[in-house]
């Protein structure tokens, strides 16, 4: 799954927006989870200026 790169401070804003924790946001942006919440987080991150990059390591 692809990674979504965001600017500094954006992860905290996403966590506050979705009322979740930073580890949840981090896992979603790394493509480690594929839940409904993770999909919403990735979508919001992209709309807020995040960049999708190919993640071939998938760790």
- Contact between 44 and 10 under an 8 Å Cβ cutoff? The reply is no
Asked if residues 14 and 31 have their Cβ atoms less than 8 Å apart, the reply is no
Instruction: Round to whole Å and give the CA distance between 55 and 25.
Output: 17
- Residue 57 has a pLDDT of 62
CA angle, 14 then 45 then 49, to 5°: 120
> Each residue of 1-44: pLDDT tens digit?
789 999 999 999 999 999 999 999 999 999 999 999 999 999 99
pTM over 0.95: no
Strand partners, 4: 52
Nearest partner of 44 among 16, 8, 1, judged by Cα: 16
């Amino acid at each position: 799954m692809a990674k979504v790169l965001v600017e500094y401070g954006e992860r905290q804003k996403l966590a506050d927006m979705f009322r979740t924790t930073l580890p949840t946001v981090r896992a979603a942006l790394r493509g480690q989870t594929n839940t409904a919440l993770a999909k919403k987080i990735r979508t919001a991150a992209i709309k807020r200026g995040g960049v999708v990059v190919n993640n071939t390591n998938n760790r």
